[in-house]
């Protein structure tokens, strides 16, 4: 059994910065995060031990602490402002690459385009993007393209964690569906997501089993799993090393490992260590390995 870690995996700079800023805010006094800081249960648990509370971004005024944190996924300006107006001290950990997507959406809306956001309807980042531009339509798949209102000019952005291949495919299909309309596309898929997807494609070409580490409600983690599933591989998405099962790995199987952008380095290391244990146990129980002492004795007898 071989074990290969992807070239690009795990926590991105946006999540790292959000965690650091939240730690600093919590060190200054009681703090409430408006939503899930990152979609990772281990991080959530860690924040709870620091006394960090949670409230809904939409429920302005519901925080019991005067310090509140906006997550790396961002928020609509009107929500950010509403919390400030209500007297809260707001720490904004919105990732700069999410801000870039907000900026692109503002620009295409200002150009008079029918704005389209390719992404997962209801996801916190998508809600934030559309919050200030209610005329934007969220498109998750090809079927949703059919329901678009007619427009002479469409302007397209995407959720930062969508696979770029899927986004480009939907833009192409939009152009085919409306050949007379102008389509302006602004690529807002973030570089860490692109890097992890490219590394994942490579991992899929060179392995039989793929382990994806990350929160079950993390969009980019789910997208990584989907990529491996589409490639026809055995995929197991896990949150901790304890979930690994030796039965998933046949002797000699090639195992690729990756992790979503909200996964801690410690979790990846624990998974790698457990995989090495499973590989060692599988080697020790193989018939060849059990016969090795007998073969060595036979060779010694002839020597
Ligand atoms: S996944 Fe991309 S957009 Fe989201 S926090 Fe990380 S770097 Fe920023």
Q: Six-digit token pair at 242?
A: 């304890």
Q: Which of 260, 295, 182 is nearest to 9 (CA)?
A: 260
Give tens-digit pLDDT for 12-41.
Answer: 999 999 999 999 999 999 999 999 998 888
| CATH 3.40.50.11270 placement within the chain | 13-95
- Sorted by sequence, the CB contacts under 8 Å of residue 210 that are 6+ apart come out as 203, 204, 225, 228, 233, 234, 235, 236, 255, 256, 257, 258
Which pLDDT does position 57 carry in this prediction? 97
Which pLDDT does position 290 carry in this prediction? 59
Which pLDDT does position 282 carry in this prediction? 83
Grade residue 196 by pLDDT with cuts at 50, 70 and 90: very high
* pLDDT for residue 72 is more than 60: yes
Task: Specify the fold of 2-9+192-284.
Answer: Cobalt-precorrin-4 Transmethylase; domain 1 (3.40.1010)
Which pLDDT does position 152 carry in this prediction? 97
* pLDDT for residue 278 is more than 70: yes
What is the Cα–Cα distance from 73 to 95, expressed in whole angstroms?
Answer: 7
Q: Cβ < 6 Å from ligand 1: which residues?
A: 12-15, 72, 95, 97-98, 160-161, 190, 192-193, 220, 261
Which pLDDT does position 296 carry in this prediction? 67
Q: What is the three-class DSSP state of 133?
A: coil
Give me the CATH code for the 97-189 domain, please.
3.40.1010.20
Active site residue 175: no
Q: What is the CA radius of gyration of the chain?
A: 24
* Residue 98 alpha carbon, nearest atom of ligand 1: 3
Which pLDDT does position 202 carry in this prediction? 96
* pLDDT for residue 271 is more than 70: yes
Q: What is the mean pLDDT of the chain?
A: 93
* pLDDT for residue 292 is more than 70: no
CA distances from 27 to 17, 24, 67, 89 (A): 15, 5, 11, 14
Pocket test for ligand 1, best of 39, 72, 167 (most atoms within 8 A of CB): 72
Which pLDDT does position 40 carry in this prediction? 85
- Architecture (CATH level 2) of domain 13-95: 3-Layer(aba) Sandwich (3.40)
Give tens-digit pLDDT for 162-173.
Answer: 999 999 999 999
| CATH 3.40.1010.20 placement within the chain | 2-9+192-284, 97-189
Mean pLDDT of 233-248: 97
Residue 252, sorted as left (phi over 0), alpha (psi -120 to 50) or beta, turns out to be: left
């Amino acid at each position: 059994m071989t074990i290969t870690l992807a070239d690009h995996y795990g926590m991105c700079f946006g999540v790292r910065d959000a965690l650091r800023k939240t730690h600093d805010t919590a060190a200054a006094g009681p703090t409430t995060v408006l939503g899930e800081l990152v979609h990772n249960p281990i991080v959530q648990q860690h924040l709870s031990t620091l006394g960090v509370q949670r409230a809904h971004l939409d429920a302005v005024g519901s925080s019991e602490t005067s310090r509140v944190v906006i997550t790396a996924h961002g928020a609509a300006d009107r929500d950010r402002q509403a919390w400030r107006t209500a007297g809260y001290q707001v720490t904004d950990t919105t990732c700069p690459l999410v801000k870039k997507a907000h900026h692109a959406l503002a620009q295409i809306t200002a150009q008079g385009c029918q704005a389209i956001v390719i992404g997962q309807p209801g996801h916190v980042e998508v809600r934030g993007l559309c919050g200030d531009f209610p005329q934007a339509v969220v498109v998750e798949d090809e079927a949703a393209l059919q329901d678009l209102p007619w427009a002479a000019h469409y302007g397209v952005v995407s959720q930062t964690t969508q696979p770029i291949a899927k986004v480009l495919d939907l833009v192409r299909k939009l152009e085919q569906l409306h050949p007379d309309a102008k389509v302006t596309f602004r690529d807002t898929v973030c570089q860490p997501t692109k890097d992890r997807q490219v590394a994942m494609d490579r991992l899929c070409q060179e392995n039989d089993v793929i382990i994806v580490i990350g929160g079950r409600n993390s969009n980019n983690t789910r997208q990584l799993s989907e990529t491996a599933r589409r490639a026809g591989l055995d995929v197991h998405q896990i949150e901790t090393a304890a979930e690994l099962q030796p039965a998933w790995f046949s002797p000699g199987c090639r195992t690729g490992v990756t992790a979503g952008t909200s996964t801690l380095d410690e979790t990846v290391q624990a998974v790698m260590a457990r995989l090495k244990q499973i590989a060692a146990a599988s080697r020790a129980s193989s018939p060849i390995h059990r016969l090795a002492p007998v073969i060595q004795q036979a060779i010694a007898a002839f020597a």
